[in-house]
Structure 1
Amino acid sequence: MLHRWFYISTSRLDARKTNEGIQEIVEVSLPRNRSLRVTGALLFTGQKFTQYLEGSPAAIAELKQSISRDARHEAIHTIAYGPFDHRRFLGWSLAYAGPSRFVAAKVEKALSAVLDQGDEEIEALAEMLAGFAIEGHS
């Protein structure tokens, strides 16, 4: 059975060390996600994270617990959690294309729509992440 966890959180990274903080997240997450057979994508706007994770229920629960305890995140909002019928990020243990002002503006708008309007916007945000994963790199 496949599960997903899709969340938005506010960054607590030190603004002077943001690049190093993101690099550390990616370096730790890639091998951990591979070992757990989790796929997904991460976007960072400079202020907010959004991450889509998919894998076994146990692996997703483990990552959810770890991220919830991570001091780099606050105000974690789960926007989708539970069983899902297919992998959206097949082959990506963590798709992350790096920071971009253009991407940040688009993502901030999409995050606000999800938080304000709810379910109607969740799949649109997931598709946005998938688009960045296809065009980006891990």
Structure 2
Amino acid sequence: MIRFDGVVMSLMSLLYISSSTMTVEDAPYEVARIAAASRAHNPTVDITGALLFTGTHFAQILEGEEEAVDALLAKLHADPRHRDLQVVQRGPIAMRRCAGWNMAYSGSSTGVASYVMRVLDAADDEARAKAAKALANLMVEFVG
């Protein structure tokens, strides 16, 4: 828990993966719109994070107060630009790993698709947790 102006705040982080429903032609434009909307909205609810798009999948880290993150997650579940949203890592954090980034995104990256697929194709919960941690670490390194 973190104290801010006398108010106790509990930060949490989650990582989700989802499948894109966008066409190859529409994806660059739509993902740019997603990043721009995130950069405008997230500061208003004190959410930080990072977005990764492989061409076929999204991976996103969201950090903030649990209520704000859960509210955003509900919106994401309803977004028709992706489907099969799976939260692969979720828990409390002592400090933000993506501090200073309302939503870090630097363009489509097919080179990291193997990290996403390792999470999705994991044989068991332990392997999935390990793969999710590796993906999250890569994304945090990306924003660093």
TM-score over 0.5 for the alignment?
A: yes
User: Given the alignment, which residue of 43, 55, 64 partners 2:64?
Assistant: 55
TM-score by length of 1: 0.88
Match of 1:88, SS?
coil
8 Å Cα contact 1:97-1:132 kept in structure 2:
no
Unaligned runs of 5+ in 1: none
Q: In structure 1, which of residues 116, 128, 134 is the aligned counterpart of residue 138 of structure 2?
A: 128
Structure with the greater alpha carbon radius of gyration: 2
Residues 101-137 of structure 1, C-alpha deviations (whole Å, 9 max, x = no match) = xxx13x2111122221211122211110012213xxx
State the alpha-carbon separation in 1 of the partners of residues 17 and 47 from structure 2: 18
TM-score of the superposed pair, with normalisation by structure 2? 0.85
CA contact (8 A) 1:41 1:94 kept: yes
Query: In the TM superposition, what are the counterparts of 1:1-138 in structure 2 within 5 Å?
Result: 1-100=10-109, 104-105=110-111, 107-115=112-120, 116=122, 117-134=127-144
- Cα distance between partner residues in 2 of 1:70 and 1:99: 19
Q: Which has the higher helix share?
A: 1
C-alpha contact 1:113 1:121 (8 A) present in aligned 2: yes
Question: Which of the pair is proportionally richer in strand?
Answer: 2
The whole-number CA distance in structure 2 between the counterparts of 1:13 and 1:132 is 24
User: More displaced, 29-38 or 107-116?
Assistant: 107-116
Letter in 2 for 1:75: D
RMSD of Structure 2 on Structure 1 (CA): 1.2
Runs of 4+ residues deviating >4 angstroms:
none
- How many residues are matched? 130
Does the Cα contact within 8 Å between 1:9 and 1:49 map onto a contact in 2? Answer: yes
Identity %: 33
Q: CA offsets, 1:25-84, max 9 Å, x none?
A: 011111111111100000001000000000001110111000000001111111012322
